[in-house]
Amino acid sequence: MKHLKTTTAVLFFSLLITPAMAQDFVFRVLANNGDNQLKVPGQEDSWRPLKTGEKLKADDEIKVVGEAYLGLIHHSGKTLEIKKAGNYQAEELSSQVKQGANSVMEKYADFLISKISEEEEDVVKDYKKYQNATGAVKRALSKATALKVLMPQTSTVMGPQVTLRWIEAGLAKPPVYLVTLKNEFSQTIKTIKTREPFITLDLREDVFKKQELVIFDVQVVGKKRYKSDEYGIKRMAGDNSDQIKEELATFAGKNGGDQAMSHLLKAMFFEDKNLPLDAITAYERAIALEPEVAEFKLLYSRFITSQKF
């Protein structure tokens, strides 16, 4: 299996191959949950299992079986989700995708495609190898180890929603976590209790509107040693912020909607812009929308691993 050397190298390579890829296929299979099948004209077997990473040409036919999920990326960079059982011709599906050149979307679609290769024969097995990175598996903490939040010590964000995730405390009984949020003067502005190893903040709330920097820590209620360091969230400001917002608006407008594939492309966008918290928020939303799709969890855990928080 091929692994990424660096995000920069893959992105550079993807930009070089964009024109060739557009001529080579109509769709690429990014996510494939269920017993979906593919029929390719001229092959001996009429139907065979559909694989993640495959390229679909115009005369190929796919069969979505039962309550399945299929996530496709068009060569233009736009995404398509199929959840309804039935037979679909790739050319007909292509006609449903609004055409039009969009170099930004093509760029991040290629970036995303590069992370799922045709050599990945068992995505679920590979996901289990990376599972610890997201905190999905409880990790026992030594006496000297605090709760670990999956982010840099200070992170700039676009927002407006930000997901904060940490590695679960390895306790026999599921704990209650207390998240304490402070302003830059270390004054508490809000506290949140949760049994989940994550929270999502909306920075449009009144309590956050005037805060350029929000400081927070996480601790287990009743367990003093299970406490994180302090972390900081800074709003992006200035000309760079305006430029990224404009690019994101164009990007989201062409492939918007609250769909898992759209959020996955946003994660690629934020990863490229070095906005890890925004990328985490996008990954988390994609997984929340389609929790049974192993490919999304694999991509997310690889991202966490690559960041080395």
Q: Are 55 and 100 in contact (CB under 8 A)?
A: no
State the pLDDT at residue 213.
95
pTM: 0.77
State the pLDDT at residue 219.
95
Residues 6+ positions from 113 with CB-CB distance below 8 Å: 14, 21, 28, 30, 53, 73
Most distant pair of Cα atoms in the chain: their distance: 70
Q: What angle in degrees, to the nearest 10, is found between the helix axes of 239-254 and 260-272?
A: 150
What is the full DSSP assignment across 25-46?
Answer: -SEEEEEEESS-EEE-TT-SSS
CB atoms within 10 A of CB 27: 25
What is the full DSSP assignment across 123-173?
Answer: HHHHHHHHGGGGT-S-B---TT----BSS-SEEEE--SEEEEEBPPB--SS
DSSP H or E segment with residue 281: helix 276-289
* Phi-psi map region of 189: left, alpha, beta (phi>0 left; psi -120 to 50 alpha): alpha
State the pLDDT at residue 100.
54
Question: Rounded to whole angstroms, how far apart are CA atoms 272 and 172?
Answer: 39
State the pLDDT at residue 20.
37
Beta strands in the chain (DSSP E): 27-33, 37-39, 48-49, 55-56, 61-64, 69-74, 79-82, 86-89, 154-157, 161-165, 177-182, 188-194, 198-202, 213-220, 223-227, 231-235
pLDDT per residue as tens, the chain (309 positions): 444 433 433 443 343 334 434 457 889 888 888 899 999 887 766 889 998 888 899 999 999 998 899 989 888 778 889 999 999 999 999 888 765 555 666 677 777 776 665 345 444 455 445 455 444 433 433 344 478 999 999 999 998 999 999 988 878 888 999 999 999 999 999 999 999 999 999 999 999 988 999 999 999 999 888 999 999 999 988 777 888 888 887 766 556 567 888 898 889 889 989 999 999 999 999 999 999 888 888 889 888 888 887
Residues 154-170: b if buried by 16+ CB within 10 A, e if exposed: ebbbbbebbbbbbbbbe
Query: For residue 151, which phi and psi values (nearest 5 degrees)?
Result: -170, 165
Order of strands, sheet of 48-49, starting from the edge strand that comes earlier in the sequence: 48-49, 37-39, 61-64, 86-89
Question: Rounded to whole angstroms, how far apart are CA atoms 290 and 154?
Answer: 30
Tokens of 309: 């928080």
Domains, the chain, in order of start with CATH, read: 7-121 (no CATH), 123-309 (2.60.40.10)
Question: Rounded to whole angstroms, how far apart are CA atoms 105 and 77?
Answer: 5
